[in-house]
Structure 1
Amino acid sequence: MEYETPLFFHVMEYAKRADRDVVDMVSGTPDWEPPESLRDAVREYADLESDQFQYPPSEGLLELREEIAARRGVDAEQVVITNGAGEANYLAMARALERDRGSEVILTDPVYPYYPGKTTILGGTQRFVATDEDGQLDPAAVRAAASEETAVIVVNTPNNPTGAVYPEETIEALVDIAEEYDAILVSDEVYDHYDLSGEFASALQFESDHRIVTNAFSKSMAITGYRVGYAIFPPTLVENAKSRHMLVNVATTRPGQYAVLHALKETGPDYFEANRQLLRERVETFTDALDAADAEYTTPQGSFYVMARFDGYPGTLENVERLIDEAGVAGMPGEAFGDSRTDWIRFALVTPRAETAAERLAAYFD
């Protein structure tokens, strides 16, 4: 079996080696502050008794699982604390595929590249369904692609890379399709706090044994390095997921869980709204500059990515490297996300230098 190293790493390394100043718009790493209560909890943790530096329960600290469960309207036994959303998605896809219900994984195009990568690792077969020009997914196209071999349907809302937010009727229809084909809908909702449209709907709104919801605090609390995520499983699927988590990772960081728990309890909605407002302002500034460059672009309904298409400049790796060398801006090639956006380049608006990057792009393509 051959594994491909994600292009993210190649582009980031290329940008680091550049002979000029480069604005990094490659990775989705928030540049804003984490909640102050989280910093306080980290300081507090350093002075706890030594037993608090040992293994936590494998499925996660009970109090954190209970806090998540109360907020999401599920039982704490359904919640598994994971090493970020990355492991949560791995566990969800693995659990869906090991039911011996087929090996096909339905993915969107464009797609976050880690989902196809996980499909390969788990021995599944990829089947892609194209979204429309706004990144919206038509449930009828998913139903047409589904078959008796369909084990998993993976969606991400708000979406990376398109910024689309799937409305309630789309999510409800996807749950229905999963039930109809005895498949599992895996709904990755890691950007839920960055819904700019008011249209976000969680798959948890629909009671079903055929959906798993994954999430993490990496983006919402600007702590991608803490690796605290979670998956919410139906009762029928959770025990084997806990076993796989224990065998692969043993447990998730105890101090990270402690800090997240305190931040959940003590951080008000103003923190999250301030970050959304910052993002709205960056989207406006960045897209204004793309207008000046006569570029076509997506305006995100959520998450923090903009995809842009420049006339005569397809989104290949070679062109992204040229953009680094000649304009001093690093984005991700559209070809990294599938076949449907190969003319596009994705930019992450998680840098205080987003305006500088916009000015450079406008000047370069003028």
Structure 2
Amino acid sequence: MNYETPLFFRVMEYADAAERDVIDMVSGNPDWEPPEALRAGLRAYADLEPDRFQYPPSEGLLELREEIAARRGVDADQVIVTNGAGEANYLAMARAMERDRGNEIVLTDPVYPYYPGKTTMLGGTQRFVATDGEGQLDPDDVRAAASEETAAIVVNTPNNPTGAVYPAETMRELVAVAEQYDAVLISDEVYDHYDLSGRFASALETDSAHRIVTNAFSKSMAITGVRVGYAILPPELVANAKSRHMLVNVATTRPGQYAVLQALRETGPDYYERNRERLRERVATFTDALDAAGAEYTTPSGSFYVMARFEDYPGTIANVERLIDEAGVAGMPGEAFGDSRTEWLRFALVTPRVEEAAERLAAYFE
């Protein structure tokens, strides 16, 4: 079986090899500080006894699972601590596929490209449902696309790449569609702390044996390299997922779990609000410059991405490389996210040089 390497790596390698200064707006790596309690937790961990450097419980440190469970209103036995949201999504999709209810996974278009990649890896087939111009998903469209072959419906809210935040009614209806077809709704909520609209609704708000929620601390705590995420599964589905996690990864980083637990306990809501406010300011700065460049763009309700369309400049990998060489700004081609946004480019607002990048784009396209 052939797996396609995600275009993220190709763009990053091209930008790194450029002979000029390039502002990186490719990947969602936050440029701001992690919580101070996380740094303190890592320092404290270095002085613990040798037994703390051995294998942790495979499903995660009990104290961390209990903390997550208390915050999410579930039982700790439903929580598996994973190597980021990436592994959590893999476990969820694999668990849905092994129920033998079909091998089709319904995805949105545009789509975060790792979801179709994981579908291929698991031997499934993709079926895409288009979102509207604002990135909103109509549950009736999902219902029309679903069938007896549907193993899972995968959604991401707040969304990458559109910045859409699905309202509570949408989430309830998506769970209902999964129940109707004996499928599993998988809701990736890794950007939940970057809801800029106040309308975020978790799939956990609808109690069901047909939904799995994935998340991580990678974005919310600005620690994409620490690799601590989690999956919350219904009691009926959790055992096999724990076994697969053990066979694939054995366990997740013990120091990272310890530090995340300290940060959860000691970090107040002001930390997350400061980061949301930073993003609001960057969105305004960036979109003002896009206005000046005559571009069409999305204004995110959540996450930290803006999609833009420039006249006669489709979102191809060749045009992204051209933009790196000639403007010194690296974004992602819209074609990486499916068929519906091939005219667009996606930019991650996770650099302190957002204003400079916007000025470069405005000058290039004026």
Structure 1 length-normalised TM? 1.00
Counting only pairs closer than 5 Å after superposition, residues 174-193 of structure 1 correspond to structure 2 as: 174-193=174-193
Shift of 1:181: 0.3
Give me the whole-angstrom Cα distance separating, in 2, the residues matched to 1:93 and 1:249.
Answer: 16
Any stretches of 5+ residues in structure 1 without a counterpart? Answer: none
Amino acid of the structure 1 residue aligned with 2:144: A
SS at match of 1:64: helix
Shift of 1:328: 0.2
Shift of 1:325: 0.3
Give me the whole-angstrom Cα distance separating, in 1, the residues matched to 2:312 and 2:253.
Answer: 47
Amino acid of the structure 2 residue aligned with 1:276: R
2:109 corresponds to? 109
SS at match of 1:359: helix
Aligned-pair Cα RMSD in Å: 0.3
1:241 corresponds to? 241
1:63 corresponds to? 63
Give me the whole-angstrom Cα distance separating, in 1, the residues matched to 2:228 and 2:61.
Answer: 11
1:149 corresponds to? 149
1:232 corresponds to? 232
Shift of 1:364: 0.2
Give me the whole-angstrom Cα distance separating, in 1, the residues matched to 2:263 and 2:339.
Answer: 40
Give me the whole-angstrom Cα distance separating, in 2, the residues matched to 1:142 and 1:104.
Answer: 13
Give me the whole-angstrom Cα distance separating, in 2, the residues matched to 1:44 and 1:126.
Answer: 45
SS at match of 2:311: coil
1:47-76 CA-to-partner distances (Å, cap 9, x unmatched) read: 000000000000000000000000000000
2:43 corresponds to? 43
Any stretches of 5+ residues in structure 2 without a counterpart? Answer: none
1:345 corresponds to? 345
Counting only pairs closer than 5 Å after superposition, residues 89-108 of structure 1 correspond to structure 2 as: 89-108=89-108
Amino acid of the structure 1 residue aligned with 2:29: T
Shift of 1:96: 0.4
SS at match of 1:306: strand
1:277-336 CA-to-partner distances (Å, cap 9, x unmatched) read: 000000000000000000000000000000000000000000000000000000000000
Give me the whole-angstrom Cα distance separating, in 2, the residues matched to 1:150 and 1:92.
Answer: 14
2:266 corresponds to? 266
2:76 corresponds to? 76
Shift of 1:230: 0.1
Shift of 1:122: 0.3
Amino acid of the structure 1 residue aligned with 2:254: R
Shift of 1:346: 0.1
Give me the whole-angstrom Cα distance separating, in 2, the residues matched to 1:207 and 1:336.
Answer: 34
1:202 corresponds to? 202
* 2:124 pairs with 1:124: yes
1:202-231 CA-to-partner distances (Å, cap 9, x unmatched) read: 000000000000000000000000000000
SS at match of 2:154: strand
Shift of 1:136: 0.2
Shift of 1:91: 0.1
SS at match of 2:225: coil
Segments of 4+ in structure 1 off by > 3 A? Answer: none
1:141-173 CA-to-partner distances (Å, cap 9, x unmatched) read: 000000000010000000000000000000000
Give me the whole-angstrom Cα distance separating, in 2, the residues matched to 1:131 and 1:2.
Answer: 28
Q: Give aligned-pair identity as a percent.
A: 83
Shift of 1:199: 0.6
Structure 2 length-normalised TM? 1.00
1:18 corresponds to? 18
Counting only pairs closer than 5 Å after superposition, residues 258-337 of structure 1 correspond to structure 2 as: 258-337=258-337
Give me the whole-angstrom Cα distance separating, in 2, the residues matched to 1:365 and 1:131.
Answer: 28
Amino acid of the structure 2 residue aligned with 1:286: F
Shift of 1:105: 0.1
Shift of 1:46: 0.3
Amino acid of the structure 2 residue aligned with 1:38: L
Give me the whole-angstrom Cα distance separating, in 1, the residues matched to 2:365 and 2:109.
Answer: 27
Give me the whole-angstrom Cα distance separating, in 1, the residues matched to 2:159 and 2:284.
Answer: 19
- Count of equivalent residues: 366
Amino acid of the structure 2 residue aligned with 1:24: D
Give me the whole-angstrom Cα distance separating, in 2, the residues matched to 1:70 and 1:283.
Answer: 33
